[in-house]
Structure 1
Amino acid sequence: MTVRILVVEDEVKTADYLHKGLSESGYSVDVAHDGLAGQQRISDEHFDLIILDVMLPGMNGWQLLQFIRSRWQTPVLFLTARDAVEYRVKGLELGADDYLVKPFSYVELLARVRTLLRRGPPRETQLFGVGDLSLDLVQHRAMRQGQRIHLTNKEFALLHLLISRENEVLSRTFIASQIWNMNFESDTNVVDVAIRRLRAKVDDPWPHRLIHTVRGMGYMLGLEP
């Protein structure tokens, strides 16, 4: 499977250089030229590694790294002209996996990329809990107030997606792409039907709902709508 790398870099020449070099090294490379664009790509797609500049328009690298670490453990390599020790320390303390200063050698960059990718993906959280609902990925078991909830594989995957992004509104298109690996047309009701069936098992037997509809936007799971 092709490794996907996202480069978030506002210097066009540097971004093009990285795109060309990493693509020739066999990676699938995407580029975002500002922090907000990078945030959107990271929210919508899966990447195996993120190469991130610090000084970015819209949202700087520190802020984008904090956003990433609040949700995922994707390896992040900071690539920046900020070479002071305090900047390196800050980047690492915020959760960066490596820090390379510009100007850089492509050979060194490639070696660091390969090292980060060899570490493999971090172990995913195996237990999730919201209120009186719990989800155990290892035992493939959902429980609420101590009672087992019997789910189909798709229902379990849908609940996992919702609970792993607690209090985050997920669009129907995003849910469809993650669960069915397809981009459904906006008028389809496949997601609505799946949510309705999941609610019948997860919410209906109990007084407090956890799966909420956000009108015009999508669905979320949390204690508060």
Structure 2
Amino acid sequence: MAQILVVDDDKHIVKLITLFLQKEGFATEEAYNGKEAWRKLEAGLIDLVVLDIMMPEMDGWELCQTIKQHYDIPVLMVTAKGETGQKVKGYQLGTDDYLVKPFDPVELVLRVRALLKRYKIASSHLVQIGNVHLNHSGHEAKLADETVYVPLKEFELLFKLASYPGQIFTREQLIQQIWGIDYEGDERTVDVHIKRLRERFPESSAGFKISTIRGLGYRLEEAR
């Protein structure tokens, strides 16, 4: 049973979210500010965090960034701040998804399930997306039954995107996670590698596409 930590200074919102999560079979923990949430993260096993931005003591921005520095778990921001600039900031700090108040509790549950599924996929060394199979242990990519040569950095980039289908990654996040925080090149490196991956794996045969999200970065999506 997945353990969900719900963080918001509005107790009514916390109770509403936990009610719907518990009805769907999730275990829940509650916190009403960032510092309390951090103590609960350190004290027990948490699988996913749902958090608000505007909170006392430690706001959602700082909490999200701190979580991502120490834990490999998904974060879903639920906030009244729906402007594009706020969303960009959230993704830059590492949030996995973003839901604007007022929200449909059923949609929140669906997003929680999707995030948990993504992270389960990401913990595996084998990923299938569309018609492509990726084996991280051997850095092997197969399209249908044919092996496709993919240079190491391109493979790491594709494996990262394919492990979290539907999730938006900023160029900065991809640079840090694939090339490392000490990388001295610029973000156009990501654009060049994405272009090459699109050429190696056309949507028509690969069964997926890598979409450009203007102002944010990239997202891999299975073709419909």
In the other structure, the counterpart of 2:71 is: 72
Contact residue 74 and residue 119 of structure 2 kept, 8 A = no
Give aligned pairs, total.
Answer: 124
Identity %: 39
In the TM superposition, residue 26 of structure 1 has moved relative to its aligned partner by 0.3
Distance 1:3 1:45 in 2: 12
| Alignment partner, residue 117 of structure 2 | 118
* 2:28 pairs with 1:29: yes
Give the deviation of 1:70 after TM superposition.
1.1
Q: What's 2:144 paired with?
A: none
Once residues 12 and 71 of structure 1 are traced to their aligned partners in structure 2, the CA distance between those partners, rounded to angstroms, is: 27
Is the radius of gyration larger for structure 1 or structure 2?
Answer: 1
User: Which residue of the partner structure matches residue 100 of structure 2?
Assistant: 101
Which residue is equivalent to 1:20? 19
Kept after mapping to 1: 8 A contact 2:5/2:28: yes
Matches within 5 A, 1:59-208: 59-121=58-120, 122-123=122-123
Provide the rounded CA distance (Å) in 2 between the counterparts of 1:103 and 1:13. 13
Select the structure that is richer in helix.
2
C-alpha distance in structure 1 between counterparts of 2:7 and 2:45, whole Å: 14
Offset of residue 123 of structure 1:
3.7
Look up the equivalent residue of 2:19 and give its one-letter code.
K
What SS is found at the alignment partner of 2:77? Answer: strand
Match of 2:194 in 1: none
- Partners of 1:9 and 1:63 lie apart in 2 by 14
**CA RMSD, aligned part only?**
1.5
Could you tell me how far 1:46 is from its partner in structure 2?
1.2
Deviations 1:184-214 (A, max 9, x none): xxxxxxxxxxxxxxxxxxxxxxxxxxxxxxx
How far residue 95 of structure 1 moved from its aligned partner, in angstroms, is: 0.5
Secondary structure class of the residue paired with 1:70? helix
112-121 or 79-88, larger mean C-alpha shift: 112-121
CA distance in 2, matches of 1:94, 1:43: 20
In the alignment, structure 1 residue 48 sits paired with structure 2 residue 47: yes
Structure 2: distance between partners of 1:117 and 1:74: 9
Structure 2 equivalent of residue 8 of structure 1: 7
Corresponding residue number in structure 1 for 2:154? none
Amino acid at match of 1:73: D
Structure 1 residue runs without a partner (length 5+): 125-137, 139-225
**Deviation of the 1:103 alpha carbon:** 0.1
1:113 CA displacement: 0.8
- CA distance in structure 2 between the aligned counterparts of 1:105 and 1:20, rounded to whole angstroms: 13
> How does the TM-score come out when normalised to structure 2?
0.53
* Aligned equivalent of 1:180: none
Preserved contact between residue 73 and residue 119 of structure 2 (Cα < 8 Å): no
Q: Which runs of 4+ in 1 moved over 3 A?
A: 121-124
Q: Distance in 1 between matches of 2:18 and 2:84?
A: 28
Deviation at 1:119, TM superposition (A): 1.1
TM-score (norm 1): 0.53
Structure 1 residue 66: Cα displacement = 1.2
Q: Work out the CA distance in 2 between the residues paired with 1:123 and 1:66.
A: 21
Please state how far the C-alpha of 1:108 moved relative to its aligned partner: 1.0
